[in-house]
Amino acid sequence: MESIDLEVLKTCDAWLAAGHRCELVTVIKTWGSSPRPEGATLGICDDGQVVGSVSGGCIEDDLIERVRTHGITRLLPEVVTYGITADEAHRFGLPCGGTIQLAIEPLSAKSRIGELLERLDRHELVARTLDLATGAVTLAPGSAGMNLEISETTLTSIHGPRWRLLIIGAGQLSRFLAQIALGMDYHVTVCDPREEYREGWHVPGVEVVHAMPDDLVIDMNLDHRSAVVALTHDPKLDDLALMEALKSDAFYVGAIGSRSNNAKRRERLKEFDLTDAQVARLHGPIGLYIGSKTPSEIAISILADLTAVKNGVALPDTVRVAGAKNAAQAAASEDVCGIDQPVSAP
C-alpha cells in the first residue's frame, strides 16, 4: 500500500504522460470541524476520474461535476473556499461553521511532478513551492518540523518519506499491528530471524526481513518519522533492537511485556551503554489501557499510544497500561485498608 499523497502524485503524473489535463487540489486551511487535514490532496482528470480526497466525498462531487460540465479550463492556480455560509455548509456536508479552503492547481510539465517523484524515490524530504500568480514550481530540500505554508503569493507543501514502523517479531499480534498500520499509511517492516515464525507469515504490502534486529535498526537509519515496536517477548531479540532504536531519532520506541519485565528490561538496557535519558524514551508496557485482551485489541491499544506521540498529544500516565494498572492497584489497596475492622472488647 502506498501513501495516499504519493498515489495522488503518481496518478497525476500518469495522466499527464497519457496526454490528459488534470488538476491537483490541496487543502490549505480549515476552520471548525473538517473531515480532512491541511495538506490533504486530490487529483482530478479531465475525464472526471479522481484520486485522493479533500473532504470525504461532498466537495469532491462538486469538483467532479464542474469538470464534467465545463472541463478543465484553469490556466493558473486558484484558491477557493467552501462552507462560508450555512447553506453551503449544509450543501457540502460540512459541520456547522465548518469551512475549507483549497488550492486548485492545473498541472503541466512546469509543475515538476516527475522530478518530485524521483526525489521521493530517493527518500528525500522535499519542499515544493508553488507560485500562485504564475504556476511556476521550485523544489528544495525540506527539514524536520516543516509544515504546509500559504501566503498571498506562494503555497509550500512538504513531501517526503512515509512514516515507517519496524515490528520486531512475526507473531500473531504483529500481524494485526501490521494490518492496521498499513491502513494508517505506514511503511511496515517486520524483522524476525527465527525461521519457524517467518514461515507462513504474510501480510500483503509488508516487508518481512530475516536479519538480526540490531543490525536492521542500524541499516534502516531510523529518523523522526520512524517507530519501533518489539513484540517477541524474547530479550535476546527485543533488547537488541531496543538498544539501537533508543539511540536513534525514532519518535517512538516501545516493547510489550508486564510491568515487572519492563522494569528488568530497563535495567538490562543500562548495561548496553545507554544513558538514563535514552532508556526513559522506552514505552513499556506498551499501549494505552483500554481493557484489551485479544491480539487485535492490543494492536489498537499500541497504535493509539503511538499515534498520540506522533501527533504531539501529551497523555497522562493513568491512561497508559502501567499507570492505569498501578492506579487500579492503589485504589484496591485503599479499599482493603478502609474496611472497618472489629474492635476488641476492653
* Alpha carbon separation from 318 to 148, 256, 284, 313 (Å, rounded): 34, 18, 13, 14
Query: What pLDDT, on the 0 to 100 scale, is given for residue 183?
Result: 84
Query: What pLDDT, on the 0 to 100 scale, is given for residue 341?
Result: 44
pLDDT tens-digit profile of 40-63?
Answer: 899 999 999 999 988 766 788 889
Cα maximum dimension of the chain? 101
Query: What pLDDT, on the 0 to 100 scale, is given for residue 345?
Result: 37
pTM score? 0.68
Query: What pLDDT, on the 0 to 100 scale, is given for residue 228?
Result: 98
Query: What pLDDT, on the 0 to 100 scale, is given for residue 178?
Result: 96
Handedness of CA 207, 245, 294, 170 (dihedral sign): positive
Query: What pLDDT, on the 0 to 100 scale, is given for residue 202?
Result: 87
Query: What pLDDT, on the 0 to 100 scale, is given for residue 346?
Result: 33
In whole angstroms, what is the distance from residue 40 CA to residue 52 CA?
A: 8
At 217, list the grid cell: 535498526
Query: What pLDDT, on the 0 to 100 scale, is given for residue 201?
Result: 87
Query: What pLDDT, on the 0 to 100 scale, is given for residue 89?
Result: 55
Domains of the chain with bracketed CATH: 4-159 (no CATH), 164-325 (3.40.50.720)
In the predicted model, residues of the chain with pLDDT beneath 50 are 1, 340-346
Query: What pLDDT, on the 0 to 100 scale, is given for residue 306?
Result: 96
Query: What pLDDT, on the 0 to 100 scale, is given for residue 35?
Result: 62
pLDDT tens-digit profile of 302-316?
Answer: 999 999 999 899 998
Query: What pLDDT, on the 0 to 100 scale, is given for residue 1?
Result: 41
Helices 295-310, 172-183: axis angle to 10 degrees equals: 50
Query: What pLDDT, on the 0 to 100 scale, is given for residue 343?
Result: 38
